[in-house]
């Protein structure tokens, strides 16, 4: 008999982890809703025709393809087996697991555009899959929390994304973070300025790796992608630009001959102006001209969020995409969005010990069970406690008290209600505080008030 195991890059989440993950998801969901976003879900499987070509060559390689059901290779010819992998893939796999939530969202918008209110603001919280090499902070199955606006090119949307990021992360207790911002138009302008017009795609893919592989290897990769030594020599200013005090002014001089580059700078400066107009307290924003975001569909502002002081990659990313719905036959619908990575946020909060102490509490009150009479007597109390907003359970078996208290202790249940013959006779029940060991005799109503008063500062009842 084989030993059970999990696929690499996937994980189980027990109750202790799930209550913490639920805290993250609830916090982010409530923030999205405050900004007017509506919920949406799309299928786990998408047709490969929807997914392929939207993430660049590297992204396509990370798609999990699902073999066609039945004899998937039955119609292949000997010539098919000698073809390259892309050609044979289209014949044996028609579907794939979603790589992100943005492309399925664009597909949904195109299919339902006749019934949607535009601008359409949606949030989506679901798992995605990538055939990546598992490592710390990088998994093959992970949750994303996306918020997108489609149907407007107003930069007010970008400014609100900055606000949502600040509000979500601060509500989670992550105080030390940086929202890095750039604009793809600036990178297009840089490509023009260094004499490599039209090569902004490979430029972005290489520049996006700067934090991971360093300047020298980025330049080496650019040469491998067709850039000349003269091109990369002219690229020198961007490697030190993010440390300058007035990067916008310096870039305006450098990109003076690039109309699209100047437009990108105008857009970024407008975002800063709008965020300031919102009155965001102590904005944690940083312009980073080397930020590229490798996904090929971004066309305007791009975002990335780093949690400072931890060795984990970005915890959020996103940007403006003007042409994504155009790939599905509906051009002209501009959109912008952000995605927060639940799994990386969880790891950050674990490392920094940011989860509230009460997150492990799933049951607030447990009733003991000594015999049939006590069980029947307690049923109405369980109902009353639940109606009062307390998560309540009764121990299901009439066993020794020690076993019942051990169970409550292992589940970190803060209060246990002891119901014996004397309690039933007098109507005064015994409430045991599992943390202090203190016991209190009182009526049912008084006990429910005591438990709620103790817990209300820590939980929402």
Torsion, CA 352, CA 354, CA 360, CA 364, rounded to 10: 160
Any known ligand binding at 100?
Answer: yes
101 is in an annotated binding site: yes
pLDDT of residue 135: 82
CATH number for region 362-455: 3.40.50.800
pLDDT tens per residue, range 348-378: 999 999 998 766 678 999 999 999 999 999 9
Domain ranges of the chain: 15-63+99-351, 362-455
DSSP β-ladder status, 392-394 and 365-367: parallel
CB atoms closer than 10 angstroms to residue 253: 8
Q: In 3D, which of 443, 425, 337 has the Cα closest to residue 374?
A: 425
Does the annotation flag 61 for ligand binding?
no
Summarised one tens digit per residue, pLDDT across range 34-83 is: 999 999 999 999 999 999 888 877 888 899 999 888 777 767 777 767 66
Most confident segment among 191-195, 204-208, 428-432: 428-432
Q: What is the pLDDT of residues 141-200, one digit of tens each?
A: 999 999 999 999 999 999 999 999 999 999 999 999 999 999 999 999 999 999 888 888
**Has residue 437 got a pLDDT over 50?**
yes
Q: What angle do CA 184, 189, 195 make, to 5 degrees?
A: 130
| Cα distance from N-terminal residue to C-terminal residue, the chain | 47
d(CA 448, CA 203): 64
Check pLDDT > 90 for residue 204.
no
Report whether 293 belongs to an annotated binding site: yes
Cα Rg for the chain, rounded, in angstroms? 28
pLDDT in tens, 285-324: 999 888 887 666 788 999 999 999 998 889 999 999 887 7
pLDDT in tens, 223-256: 988 888 888 888 888 777 755 567 888 888 899 9
Assess whether the previous peptide bond of 292 is cis (omega < 30° from 0). no
Is there a binding annotation on residue 115?
no
pLDDT at 209: 83
The tokens of 317 are what? 């990313």
Residue 460's pLDDT is: 47
Please give the Cα distance from 178 to 306 (Å, whole number): 5
pLDDT, residue 461, reads 39
Instruction: For Cα atoms 302, 40, 160, give the angle at the middle one, nearest 5 degrees.
Output: 35
Q: How far is CA 216 from CA 199, 241, 374, in A?
A: 19, 17, 75
Secondary-structure percent of the chain, ordered helix, strand, coil, rounded to 5: 45, 20, 40
Residue 297 confidence (pLDDT): 76
Task: Flag whether 130 is marked binding.
Answer: yes
298 annotated to bind ligand? yes
Q: What is the architecture, at CATH level 2, of domain 15-63+99-351?
A: 2-Layer Sandwich (3.30)
Q: Does 220 belong to an annotated binding site?
A: no
404 carries a ligand binding annotation: no
């Amino acid at each position: 008999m084989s030993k059970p195991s999990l696929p690499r890059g996937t994980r189980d989440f027990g109750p202790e982890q799930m209550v913490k993950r639920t805290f993250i998801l609830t916090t982010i969901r409530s923030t999205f809703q405050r900004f007017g976003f509506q919920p949406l879900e799309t299928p786990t499987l998408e047709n490969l025709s929807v997914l392929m070509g939207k993430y660049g060559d590297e992204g396509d390689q990370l798609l999990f393809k699902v073999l066609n059901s039945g004899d998937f290779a039955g119609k292949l010819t000997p010539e098919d087996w000698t073809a390259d992998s892309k050609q044979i893939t289209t014949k044996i796999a028609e579907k794939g697991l979603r790589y992100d939530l943005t492309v399925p969202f664009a597909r949904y918008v195109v299919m339902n555009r006749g019934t949607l209110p535009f601008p359409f603001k949606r949030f989506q919280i679901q798992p995605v899959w990538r055939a990546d090499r598992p490592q710390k902070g990088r998994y093959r199955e992970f949750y994303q929390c996306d918020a997108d606006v489609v149907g407007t090119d107003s930069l007010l949307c970008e400014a609100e994304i900055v606000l949502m990021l600040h509000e979500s992360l601060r509500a989670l207790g992550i105080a030390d973070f940086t929202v890095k911002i750039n604009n793809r138009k600036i990178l297009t302008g840089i490509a023009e300025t260094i004499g490599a017009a039209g090569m902004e795609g490979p430029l972005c893919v290489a520049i996006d790796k700067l934090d991971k592989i360093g300047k020298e290897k980025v330049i080496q990769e650019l040469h491998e992608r067709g850039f000349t030594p003269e091109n990369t020599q002219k690229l020198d200013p961007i490697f030190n630009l993010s440390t300058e005090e007035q990067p916008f002014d310096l870039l305006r001089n450098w990109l003076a001959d690039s109309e699209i580059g100047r437009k990108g700078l105008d857009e970024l400066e407008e975002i800063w102006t709008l965020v300031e107009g919102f009155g965001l307290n102590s904005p944690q924003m940083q312009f980073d001209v080397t930020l590229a975001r490798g996904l090929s569909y971004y066309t305007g502002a791009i975002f990335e969020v780093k949690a400072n002081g931890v060795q984990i990659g970005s915890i959020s990313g996103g940007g403006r995409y003007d042409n994504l719905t155009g790939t599905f036959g509906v051009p002209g619908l501009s959109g912008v969005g952000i995605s927060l990575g639940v799994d990386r946020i969880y790891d950050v909060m674990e490392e920094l010990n940011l989860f509230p102490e009460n997150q492990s509490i799933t049951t607030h009150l447990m009733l003991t069970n000594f015999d049939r009479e006590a069980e029947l007597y307690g049923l109405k109390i369980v109902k009353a406690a639940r109606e009062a907003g307390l998560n309540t359970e009764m121990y299901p078996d009439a066993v020794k008290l020690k076993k019942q208290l051990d169970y409550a202790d292992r589940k970190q249940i803060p209060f246990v209600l002891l119901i014996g013959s004397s309690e039933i006779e007098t109507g005064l029940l015994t409430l045991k505080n599992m943390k202090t060991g203190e016991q209190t005799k009182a009526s049912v109503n008084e006990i429910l008030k005591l438990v709620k008063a103790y817990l209300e500062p820590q939980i929402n009842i």
